[in-house]
């Protein structure tokens, strides 16, 4: 007779020392915290950058926002590399299924020419906006202080490339390479797009990474995403069900990522009155610029009414106020 015994092995410690110091003791920590906390380099840097002698390579003074603890920015999604890639893998499978469904059944043939042209004029040039958003979030990931911001900003940047690729695929479905090329030409030359292009490219030369975060992820996306992926798709009518399938990832992604964006603003605003005022200044500045840039896209290309655009603006203002920003007098 074989007797099988079980033994309980108590771990010598529950987590890494640097995580335990933050948690206030040797306590079990989530994979998210173990993969995110205290990864920012703080000493033994490389040579100081010749192009920016006022700052260290990793320097919290690269932004006007001040924090006592840069690790306060907990991602409500709890994304570390493993959980992020698993989530995006599932979403990509759903998106691929939608594209396959539309392609195999040639559903776009049921969309009339006017609607197809409208979809191409609005959706395809946006791939360049997404590329700009990738650039801006890559800048944030490079210069933001603390891995609690660097890591999700990197994920956010990669997401924008994925969205740009989906928009390119939509262009190919609508009319092949010619439609994609026409979208690029519109982004470069169509007067309706030049305002948004200017705002996007102006952010390439902003030096404060937190200002870029507000301008791109709060204001820019807060106006563009509901305008295009909610109202424009709905306004196409019955034929919009096909494009809704093709843009489902963008809609779901916006709802998910806004939770992280909102948490960053809320935490920074709650830190101090100075932060709250600075965030409000940036919000007002970039909302005025972006709203003026988006208006011709909404009215001339997407066919969205001025009333709808006003509702989008009001919703964004309400969101900003909920996050702690004083935005009166806009």
Tell me how far CA of residue 18 lies from CA of 8, 14, 36, 37, 79, in angstroms.
26, 12, 11, 8, 19
Token pair belonging to 178 = 């010619």
Neighbouring CB atoms inside 10 A of 159's CB total: 22
Select the more confidently predicted residue: 33 or 227: 227
pLDDT in tens, 198-235: 999 999 999 999 999 999 999 999 999 999 999 998 88
Is the pLDDT confidence value at 115 over 60? yes
Tell me how far CA of residue 266 lies from CA of 178, 279, 282, 287, 325, in angstroms.
44, 10, 15, 18, 9
**Helix (H), strand (E) at residue 280:** helix 273-296
Please tell me the distance from the alpha carbon of residue 87 to that of residue 312, in angstroms, as a whole number: 28
- Give residue limits of the domains in the chain: 78-322
pTM (predicted TM-score)? 0.92
Is the pLDDT confidence value at 330 over 70? no
Is the pLDDT confidence value at 150 over 80? yes
CATH class of the domain comprising 78-322? mainly alpha
Looking at every residue in the chain, the average pLDDT score rounds to 92
Residue 40's contacts (CB-CB under 8 Å, 6 or more residues apart) are 58, 70, 145, 146, 147, 150
pLDDT in tens, 271-290: 999 999 999 999 999 999 99
pLDDT at 237: 62
Is the pLDDT confidence value at 51 over 80? yes
pLDDT at 329: 54
Please tell me the distance from the alpha carbon of residue 262 to that of residue 257, in angstroms, as a whole number: 9
Token pair belonging to 41 = 């380099």
pLDDT at 34: 82
pLDDT class of 109 with cuts at 50, 70, 90: confident
Which range is least confidently modeled, 63-67, 139-143, 236-240?
Answer: 236-240
Read off φ and ψ for residue 299, nearest 5 degrees: -85, -45
Q: Are 216 and 133 in contact (CB under 8 A)?
A: yes
């Amino acid at each position: 007779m074989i007797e099988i015994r079980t033994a309980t092995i108590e771990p010598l410690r529950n987590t890494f020392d640097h995580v335990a110091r933050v948690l206030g003791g040797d306590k079990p920590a989530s994979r998210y915290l173990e993969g995110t906390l205290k990864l920012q380099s703080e000493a033994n840097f490389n040579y100081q950058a010749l192009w920016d002698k006022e700052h260290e390579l990793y320097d919290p003074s690269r932004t006007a926002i001040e924090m006592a603890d840069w690790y306060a920015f907990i991602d409500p999604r709890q994304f570390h590399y493993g959980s992020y890639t698993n989530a995006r893998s599932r979403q990509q499978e759903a998106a691929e299924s939608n594209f396959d469904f539309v392609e195999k059944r040639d559903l776009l043939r049921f969309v009339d020419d006017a609607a197809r042209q409208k979809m191409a004029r609005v959706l395809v040039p946006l791939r360049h906006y997404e590329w700009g958003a990738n650039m801006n979030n890559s800048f944030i990931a490079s210069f933001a202080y603390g891995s609690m911001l660097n890591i999700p900003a990197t994920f956010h940047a990669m997401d924008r490339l994925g969205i740009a690729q989906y928009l390119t695929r939509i262009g190919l479905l609508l009319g092949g390479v010619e439609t994609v090329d026409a979208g690029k030409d519109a982004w470069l030359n169509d007067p309706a797009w030049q305002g948004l292009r200017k705002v996007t490219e102006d952010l390439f030369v902003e030096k404060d990474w937190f200002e870029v975060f507000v301008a791109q992820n709060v204001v820019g996306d807060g106006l563009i995403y509901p305008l295009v992926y909610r109202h424009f798709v709905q306004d196409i009518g019955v034929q919009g069900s096909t494009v809704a399938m093709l843009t489902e990832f963008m809609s779901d992604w916006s709802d998910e990522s806004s939770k992280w964006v909102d948490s960053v603003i809320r935490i920074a605003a709650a830190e101090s009155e100075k932060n709250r005022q600075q965030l409000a200044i940036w919000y007002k500045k970039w909302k005025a610029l972006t709203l003026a840039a988006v208006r011709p896209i909404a009215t001339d290309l997407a066919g969205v009414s001025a009333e709808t655009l006003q509702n989008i603006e009001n919703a964004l203002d309400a969101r900003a106020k909920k996050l702690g920003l004083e935005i009166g007098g806009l």
